[in-house]
Structure 1
Amino acid sequence: MDILVIGGGGREHAIVWALAQSPKAGSIYCAPGNAGIAQLAECVPIAVGEFEKLKAFALEKEVGLVVVGPDDPLADGIVDVLEDAGLAVFGPRKNAAEIEGSKTFMKDLLHKYSIPTAAYEKFDSYEQALTYLRSQKAPIVIKADGLAAGKGVTVAHTMEEAEQALQDIMQSKVFGEAGSRVVIEEFLEGQEMSILAFVDGETVKPMSAAQDHKPAYDGDKGPNTGGMGTYSPLPHIPSSVIEEAVEQIIKPTAKAMVAEGRPFRGVLFAGLMITPEGRVKTIEFNARFGDPETQVVLPRLKTDLLEVFLAAVNGTLAELELEWREEAAVCVILASGGYPASYPKGLPITGLESTDDTSMVFHAGTALNAEGQVVTSGGRVLGVVGLGEDIASARDNAYQRAEGITFEGKHFRTDIAAKALK
């Protein structure tokens, strides 16, 4: 079966890598892809927002399955466009993808169905939002309602910081129309956890839990990013807590979406907080594979990923049991100098070649220059994944491989997965 994967980041590289191992996979195309994906698939120069071109290409190549990676095209209804043309697509339709596309919708849904989440208020008026904010205390969380490339959330530790974030979002429009509404949310303390799940209506098949590191610098300092590293499994979090998250949050949310006439099919990604009391609350839902969580979860999946995708599309997901490898995985993101603010592009990357089977590299923001050399083309450039019998050995393997890769301005956190070792 020929496959088209839409996207061009580290998540899509991991998806293509996993699909390429399936005996059922034929030709794999990726639009637009990147320099790493090009080693496994045929990259097609079509942007993720060019729906008609993507539809025409998929029909021309008679692909048996389309897999949509990023959030923006899902929120804009790419699955509707492709399915209406008769194509099989793994991913939620537009009305279901709103669980990520609108934080207001997501919070209202959870509130309506009594699914645990932080207390919140929503506003489309800057003046009303500011008045409410001034009645609260720091720390407090300010969220742009729409999609903002993972950067629309400010955890404000002072009221001055909170007011500045509100002004940036609603008045300066730093996230464009994504900031026309805001959610102001209570600050939740504790430990974050990510659980991705394959979902088809009310059928939920959770993946192995992971933990992301959003702030740019060691010790969870600095501005939020799209993710500076992650690891799986989580040996320091009791299985009962993970089970609680699945049973009390993810499964009820899938049922709620069906009840609302928005059945979800694809990957439902829950960003969760484990409070000091050991309770689990929902921070956010995403409507697709997480990045960089995918880079540690898929290398641990023993089950054929193509079989899972097809089961979800064909409505037989309930009949499938997922199998997982025992080994641990740790991903360290190598970022461009200046990220998450402005950064240069086109810088040569060296040290990518390796025959080591204890690590792998997923390309996130790379391209090929005119001379055929791999160069930087994004803020998060590479996801270096170490594999090992436990988190400690996987972490060592990831950092050893990361040290051998160079490009000007490279920076990365040195404390990824440290929480699991304490």
Structure 2
Amino acid sequence: MENKVQEVTQQLTEKDILLEVLQKEKEQAAVVVKELETALQSRRELISHAKIYRDQLKSLSHSNEQLEQSKRQLEEEVRDLRYRMEKEQYRCDAEERAYKNIQRKLEHVNILQQSQEANDANARFLLEHKIFEMERKLGERQLRKTLEAETESTRTHLVEAIKEAERCLAAHKVTEKALHSEKVKHQHFIDKLTDEATSQRETISSLSQKLAAAGTRANSMENKVHQVTQQLTEKGLLLEVLQKEKEQAAVRVKELETALQSKRELISHAKICDQLKSLSHSKDQLEQSKRQLEEEVRVLRYCIESMQQYRCDAEERAYKNIQQKLEQVNILQQSQERKLGEARTTQQDILNQRDSTHTELERYRQLYTDEMHLRKSLAVKLERTESQLSKANFILVCEHNRSLITSSTANSSRVEDHLEHCASDNIEMEGVSDHCKSTKTCQEAHDHSG
């Protein structure tokens, strides 16, 4: 009996030792639970990081909206540039029409000048013919009066021709003034074109700066996306570590189950009811703790699976959103590059148009110089005709005086009077020629000043 009591006491001590071991294992399980709680805390931190990433995605969408707004502003600026180009084209067409009108006026003036030259040539031919007839018929006294009348008529014709030439010169001055005013307007138009070209260059430079800013924003967005991907990879590594810890906890739970099974086997061999009751009570407690641990393990597994699913969904959504944003950024960049190319082509067209206007201006200047040379040549021709007319008049007067001298050789006083009259006529002709020269110099000075 004492041996049985000793055996029972030994069994009780062994069971106490086993209970202590189970208590230690329970403490270890509590440590594992704490570790799982820390893992849950890390999962909560991951969720907070995911919220931060969501905020970053919102900021990226806001920056994308800003880029779209800048795109709309660029489109408005391009439309404004096109409207300005159409307006400048309309102005160029108006200037071209005005130039054609001036060219028609110049052609009309040239036709008038040619007709005046033809009239002068006809008058010169008639004058020479009449002078030839007058030289042939100077011996005839009966035709002297008719000669004088014809000379007076030719004189009146010449005066009328001179007046016509003066009218032509006045019309030419009017056309010169119109040309000068058109030249001033064209110069003002060219200055305005240059100012608008500079303003367009400034707008193009501002557009290029905006494109550069958009490129920097796109680069910053790409850097942010790269950082987000790095953080996601880090979170994936943390999830893998937590998965390993979960597996270790499952292994420990299995060890606890094996220990509990061994305790059950030991308890089944017990014969004392009290010990069995106590062991059953401890067993119930252990089973309850086991159920709690299993429930916690299931909860942790569910949390881990939900976190993995959420992580996969978040990664997939973030990847899709980032891919869409990158595609939108690429499309926006391509459209901006295309618009920049169009702006460059419009700038090249403006430069070509400015070169064409410069060549047109040079052509206008050449036409103006040709017109000035033509005016000078016409003035020289007019001076020559005036000198020839003065010479013809002088010859007529001399011949008239010579005829008077031959007819009245007896009257010396009349001869002297005629000679004095001839000298006075010569002086008058020299005065007329001097007056013509002075008018020519005044005209040249006026042309030079104009």
TM-score normalised by the shorter chain: which range applies?
under 0.3
Hey, which of these two has a bigger chunk of helix by percent? 2
* Larger RCO (CA within 8 A; separation ≥ 6): 2
- TM-score normalized with structure 2 length: 0.13
Larger CA Rg, structure 1 vs 2: 2
- TM-score normalized with structure 1 length: 0.14
